[in-house]
């Protein structure tokens, strides 16, 4: 059969020109619009799985630049190649700053990688992962080999529920609470888990003495940090005595990402102490994080520091309700 491309092709029956062979381009691509004006594409090895859960669409792709990629509702969540940057950054700073973390609560984190990193800490006796989407959790359990061990660790307790409801209704206190949720888009699904009221009335009461809260805090690039990072920072500052923002460039996100630690106990650790605790407390070796890396990550650049100092917006239920309309319109115009 003869095919297209204005005849400029190598055919079924004739030895083809090797230059031509080498010349032809990658043909299968995963493509994501990071925003309306910015598009990011990975060449594909294969489409491993596609499905629809009660809450979202789910895809697992095998890509050339980043290996296996988990996608929810058409948005990249995590890649085999560089998820360690995100998860080591989310988990280890708070657990290392805590004198002796025994119990940890994860809001979301259904992928399992956050639990995996937490469970590497020898001090940890109990991890509660509370994710609303059972199908995503089951999916990751069976497809993400790297997290299998974590999912079957006896210290892990899995709860399928809205983390907000779980934290409001439960009583147990935790040494560290980890927010591994979608960003606080006004009108978006997770907004209410980033408000001052939620931190004050729901999170803080569930932290034990010296307890530390950490949350992923959205993009923190030199331009993108104004979207949610600075507001999350300012909102946490209203509720906690000590707040430490930090960030790292994550290649598959095509951006620098942010995390924020917060506590009413001081959050300061010398480089040496940081590295010592890694050696003493964490099984296996970190691929990304150590003391120097954290110094670099928690020393923000001039532009970002300035925004954080001057940020005045605080996430509140009011704000949310107020902009609800915009939130959903925004979606339609995607």
Measured in Å, how far apart are the chain's first and last C-alpha atoms?
40
Question: Least distance from C-beta 233 to a copy of itself, angstroms?
Answer: 14
Single out the residue of 275, 273, 247 nearest to residue 260, CA to CA. Answer: 247
Considering only residues 80, 290, 314, 316, which one is a binding residue for a copy of itself as defined by CB under 8 A? 290
Q: Extract the tokens encoding 34.
A: 């990071």
Is residue 257 part of the contact set for a copy of itself (CB under 8 A)? yes
Is 180 an annotated catalytic residue? yes
State which of positions 152-191 bind a copy of itself (CB under 8 A): 162-163, 180-185, 187-190
- Quote the CA–CA distance of 88 and 274 in Å, as a whole number: 14
Residue 93: CB atoms within 10 A of its CB come to 24
120 φ/ψ angles, rounded to the nearest 5 degrees: -70, -15
Single out the residue of 32, 48, 49 nearest to residue 40, CA to CA. Answer: 32
In the block, residue with structure tokens 């020393």:
299
Considering only residues 93, 96, 243, 255, which one is a binding residue for a copy of itself as defined by CB under 8 A? 255
**Chain centroid offset of residue 32 CA:** 17
State which of positions 79-118 bind a copy of itself (CB under 8 A): 81-83, 85-87, 107-111, 113-114
State which of positions 41-70 bind a copy of itself (CB under 8 A): 41-47, 50, 55-57, 59, 61, 63-65, 70
Q: Classify residue 208 by burial, with Cβ atoms within 10 Å: 0-12, 13-18, 19+.
A: middle
Is residue 245 part of the contact set for a copy of itself (CB under 8 A)? no
Question: Least distance from C-beta 210 to a copy of itself, angstroms?
Answer: 26
Find the part of the chain contacting a copy of itself (CB under 8 A) among 131-139, 151-159, 196-204, 235-243.
131-139
Active-site option among 131, 133, 180, 255: 180
The length of the chain in residues reads 334
State which of positions 304-333 bind a copy of itself (CB under 8 A): 305, 327-328, 330-333
Closest CB to a copy of itself among residues 157, 292: 292
Task: Please give the positions annotated as active site.
Answer: 180
């Amino acid at each position: 059969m003869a095919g297209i491309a204005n005849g400029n092709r190598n055919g079924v029956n004739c030895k083809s020109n090797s230059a031509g062979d080498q010349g032809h381009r990658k043909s299968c691509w995963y493509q994501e619009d990071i925003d309306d004006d910015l598009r990011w594409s990975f060449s594909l090895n294969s489409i491993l799985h596609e499905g629809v859960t009660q809450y979202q669409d789910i895809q697992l792709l095998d890509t050339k630049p980043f290996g296996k990629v988990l996608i929810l509702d058409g948005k990249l969540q995590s890649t085999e190649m560089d998820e360690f940057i995100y998860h080591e950054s989310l988990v280890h700073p708070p657990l290392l700053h805590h004198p002796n973390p025994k119990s940890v609560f994860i809001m979301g984190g259904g992928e399992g990688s956050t639990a995996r990193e937490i469970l590497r800490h020898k001090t940890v006796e109990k991890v509660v992962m509370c994710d609303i989407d059972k199908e995503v959790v089951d999916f990751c359990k069976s497809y993400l080999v790297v997290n299998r061990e974590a999912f079957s660790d006896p210290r892990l307790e899995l709860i399928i529920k809205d983390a907000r409801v779980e934290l409001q209704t439960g009583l147990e206190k935790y040494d560290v609470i980890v927010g591994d949720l979608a960003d606080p888009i006004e009108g978006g699904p997770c907004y209410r888990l980033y408000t001052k009221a939620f931190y004050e009335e729901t999170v803080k009461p569930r932290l034990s003495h010296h307890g530390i809260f950490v949350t992923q805090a959205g993009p923190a690039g030199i331009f993108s940090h104004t979207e949610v990072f600075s507001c999350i920072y300012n909102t946490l500052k209203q509720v906690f005595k000590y707040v430490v923002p930090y960030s790292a460039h994550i290649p598959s996100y095509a951006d620098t990402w942010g995390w924020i630690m917060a506590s009413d106990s001081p959050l300061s650790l010398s480089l040496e102490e940081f590295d010592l605790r890694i050696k003493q407390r964490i099984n296996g070796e970190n691929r990304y994080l150590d003391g120097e890396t954290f110094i670099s990550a928690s020393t923000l650049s001039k532009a970002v520091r300035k925004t954080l100092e001057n940020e005045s917006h605080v996430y509140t239920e009011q704000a949310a309700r107020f902009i609800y309309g915009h939130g959903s319109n925004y979606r339609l115009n995607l």
